[in-house]
Homo-oligomer: A and B are copies of this chain.
Amino acid sequence: MATTDDRRPKYQRIADSLREAIRSGEYGPGDRLPGENDLMAEYGVARMTARQAIGVLRDEGIAEARKGAGVFVRSFRPIRRRGIQRLAREQWGNGRSIWSADIESRALEVDQVSVSEETAPAYVSAALDLAAGDLVCVRRRRFVLDDKPVQVATSYLPLSLVAGSAITQEDTGPGGTYARLAELGHEPVHFREEIRSRMPSPDEVTQLGISPGTPVILICRTAFTAQGHPVEFNEMTLDAGSYVLEYDFGAS
């Protein structure tokens, strides 16, 4: 279905044609798109118009410029993040997944780990059922895939629960934070994940090396003990161009 509204600016109409060609599969993920010179020749337009048309697709996150090489259809080869792994998916996973996840098996590197003691910000106090001014152990880290940062995460744990444990060290030991919480008598057994998406702040663009036209996904996970006490609040910021989230669950 071609867009034939001729009152739209010319660069918009060129962008429409290119978008349609990508949608139809004429240009696949990773394919090189016509450059400014190609568009100038094909549509008889000025360089600025051709540039604007390409800019529209870049701002929509469906094309990306590679320095000196041209403009390409962006691929979406996401990391698959499973929110719930406890179900035996093999038993009922016949239907194939919609977004291929060939990165799934590649390991994410964790770097820039830092641990500190801080006064909990108000929204963290609320999430962790703390009083104003209560201290939290704050664990920050970054996840990197093939030298590209894809996620930053900050965990907050009530200092009253974890002071003196390995959770306050950079290396939390085998099994990580949750194993240590269990040893302390605060095993997390229920989780709540809240997800939203928005455009990144300039800081987030820098931190995650986010491409133009790409949102971030925010995940706030709260971990609860069997008694219903929140013991960890984890705030994750994901480059939406790098992730697909998956939740598998049973009927109510």
Within A91-129, the residues touching B (CB, 8 Å) are 91-99, 123, 126-129
Q: Given A93-B228, A127-B98, A247-B192, are A198 and B220 neighbors across the interface (CB < 8 Å)?
A: no
Residues in B neighbouring A194, C-beta threshold 8 A: 97-99, 244-246
Q: Given A92-B228, A199-B213, are A83 and B251 neighbors across the interface (CB < 8 Å)?
A: no
Residues in B neighbouring A215, C-beta threshold 8 A: 197-199, 215, 240
- Copy number in the complex reads 2
Q: Which of A87, A127, A197, A198 has its CB near the most chain B CB atoms (within 10 A)?
A: A197
A34: CB under 8 A from chain B?
no
Q: Which of A41-49, A135-143, A162-170, A183-191 has 4 or more CB atoms under 8 Å from chain B?
A: A183-191
B188, A85: Cβ atoms closer than 8 Å:
no
What is the CA–CA distance of A196 and B100 in the complex, to the nearest angstrom? 12
Q: Given A83-B249, A192-B247, are A127 and B96 neighbors across the interface (CB < 8 Å)?
A: yes
Further contacts, 16 of them, CB under 8 A, given A84-B247, A96-B129 = A60-B199, A76-B198, A86-B250, A92-B226, A93-B228, A95-B128, A95-B129, A96-B126, A97-B194, A99-B220, A192-B246, A194-B245, A195-B195, A198-B240, A199-B214, A249-B249
A11: CB under 8 A from chain B?
no
